[in-house]
């Protein structure tokens, strides 16, 4: 397949430059120049996507690995991504994919129909656009999502939420669930660690929750001495409660040294537990811990009777004590897509 695919969401600036309007970076590109994401570039005064039809591999995973805990629990999801990213996170744990500039070395070459068919034959209930941010391969993701819909497959975006309003509106028309990586809760963190801004991510979170039917969960990777202060976690969880509601699950996950932050220590379990307790105090009903074994932090508890309704061992569901979306013990409704 020819990976050179026409892109959208750009406008001309002058006789030789165009501006990419896909994300808040608004890269201004001369002819032949690539954006920071690397996969979108100016050729002859138009945007092209160089990663269309190319992927960094296909894998069938538990949906809990995305992580999504209130979306088809216990089901399998076909995961795929491309290369590149529109943020520059020094702590990226998929950096060999997200920062790759070797498009010709991507492992797979599948068109949208092939990916959807592979998902059906693998027994997956959904397809996840993940590994790197699907925003940057917007056209490939949307075309694949359309093929998934034809086959009654659900679609999942695992994303940083760093996207501009117009493409965001189209993108989330084709998604059934999203896990947004809320990397920290200060503009200084986003500037210093991600070369980005916090405000557009918060705007995306509010858009997904309040203006779409997409099921939303949030991940916060906690990095020691970077975004792990009690103040920052409290402010973040209070913002989520006020702007998104008590029912949005949040996953506090442990950092391990990687990429450009090899000097940082691993996140201790005690930090994750503290963050979970702060979230509960802020009024959030479904805070979880991840990347470190913690039975209590892996369970879904009924907010009414406090009994476990979903028990997990890591990414694997051990038992579901629900009738559709109702707690078997007390009948309380558990929010999600079950």
Q: What are phi and psi of 231, to 5 degrees?
A: -60, -50
Domains in the chain and their CATH numbers?
5-49 (no CATH), 54-297 (3.20.20.70), 299-338 (no CATH)
Distance CA 243, CA 212 (A): 15
- pLDDT for the residue numbered 2: 45
Cβ proximity of 338 and 322 under 8 Å? yes
DSSP string over 18-30: EEE-SSTT--EEE
Pairing, β 326-327 against β 322-323:
antiparallel
| Tokens of residue 305, six digits | 């009777």
Per residue in 31-49, pLDDT (tens digit) is 999 999 999 999 999 999 9
* Enclosing H/E stretch for 209: helix 199-211
Cα–Cα distance for residue pair 244/210, rounded to 1 Å: 8
Instruction: List pLDDT tens digits, range 71-85.
Output: 999 999 999 999 889
- Residues near 4 by beta carbon (within 8 Å), at least 6 away in sequence: 43, 48, 49, 50, 52
* pTM (2 d.p.): 0.95
Q: What pLDDT does residue 1 have?
A: 39
Per residue in 216-227, pLDDT (tens digit) is 999 999 999 999
- pLDDT higher than threshold 70 for residue 3: no
């Amino acid at each position: 397949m020819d990976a050179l695919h026409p892109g959208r969401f750009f406008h001309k600036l002058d006789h030789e430059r165009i501006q990419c309007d896909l994300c808040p970076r608004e890269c201004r590109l001369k002819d032949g120049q690539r954006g920071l994401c690397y996969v979108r570039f100016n050729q002859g005064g138009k945007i092209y996507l160089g990663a269309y039809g190319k992927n960094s591999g296909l894998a069938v995973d538990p949906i809990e690995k995305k992580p999504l805990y209130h979306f088809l629990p216990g089901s399998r999801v076909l995961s795929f991504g491309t290369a590149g990213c529109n943020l520059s996170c020094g702590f990226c744990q998929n950096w060999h994919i997200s920062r790759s500039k070797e498009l010709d070395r991507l492992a797979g070459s599948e068109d949208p129909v092939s990916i959807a068919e592979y998902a059906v034959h693998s027994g997956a209930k959904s397809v996840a656009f993940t590994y790197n941010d699907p925003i940057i391969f917007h056209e490939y993701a949307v075309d694949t999502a359309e093929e998934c819909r034809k086959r009654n497959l659900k679609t999942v975006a695992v994303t940083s939420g760093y996207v501009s309003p117009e493409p965001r509106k189209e993108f989330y028309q084709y998604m059934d669930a999203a896990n947004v990586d809320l990397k920290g809760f200060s503009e200084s963190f986003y500037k210093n660690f991600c070369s980005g801004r916090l405000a557009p991510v918060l705007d995306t979170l509010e858009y997904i929750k309040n203006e779409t039917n997409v099921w939303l969960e949030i991940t916060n990777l906690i990095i020691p001495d970077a975004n792990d202060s009690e103040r920052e976690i409290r402010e973040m969880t209070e913002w989520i409660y006020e702007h998104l509601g008590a029912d949005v699950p949040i996953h506090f996950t442990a950092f391990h040294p990687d990429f450009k932050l090899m000097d940082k220590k691993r996140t201790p379990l005690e930090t994750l537990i503290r963050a979970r307790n702060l979230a509960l105090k802020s009024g959030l009903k479904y805070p979880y811990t991840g990347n470190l074994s913690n039975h209590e932090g892996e369970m879904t508890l009924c907010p009414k009777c406090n009994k476990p309704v979903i028990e997990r061992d890591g990414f694997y569901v051990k038992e579901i004590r629900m009738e559709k979306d109702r707690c078997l013990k007390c009948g309380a409704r558990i929010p999600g897509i079950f």
